[in-house]
Amino acid sequence: MFTRISSIIKSAPKRSRSPDAFLALQVRQISKESLGKILREYPEDLSKKIKVKSFKNGVLVVIAPSLISAELHARSDGLKGDINRALGRNIVEKIRFRSF
């Protein structure tokens, strides 16, 4: 059987130096969970269009429709705080929202 990536991420030691790719996967996974909490109040088909695109150099990129992108931008400080709290340290410095 295959091991799920989420179980590998959760079992990784918190104090070890993770490679950048592994850290990016971890940030993206936690970001999706945090966005899911915020998007509960929106229709399901709209929330499926929102994608966590990338994480590099402390910047998380999220792609969303323009109206939702503006709403999420207004809530970005709370979202950034949730992500960093889940990670246990300040990793995400900035969140950029791209519209389509």
Task: Go through the domains of the chain in sequence order and give each one's CATH number.
Answer: 20-99 (3.30.300.180)
Which is it for strands 59-64 and 94-99: parallel, antiparallel or unpaired?
Answer: parallel
Look at residue 48 in the predicted model and tell me its pLDDT.
Answer: 85
Look at residue 44 in the predicted model and tell me its pLDDT.
Answer: 84
Mean pLDDT split into 10-residue runs, the chain, 100 residues: 72 63 90 90 85 94 92 92 93 93
Phi, psi of 6 (to 5 degrees): -65, -35
| Two tokens, residue 31 | 């970001």
Considering the entire predicted model, what is its pTM? 0.76
Look at residue 73 in the predicted model and tell me its pLDDT.
Answer: 93
Beta carbons within 8 Å of 5's beta carbon, 6+ residues apart: 25, 29
Look at residue 22 in the predicted model and tell me its pLDDT.
Answer: 83
Look at residue 95 in the predicted model and tell me its pLDDT.
Answer: 96
Alpha-carbon 56 to chain mean position: 12
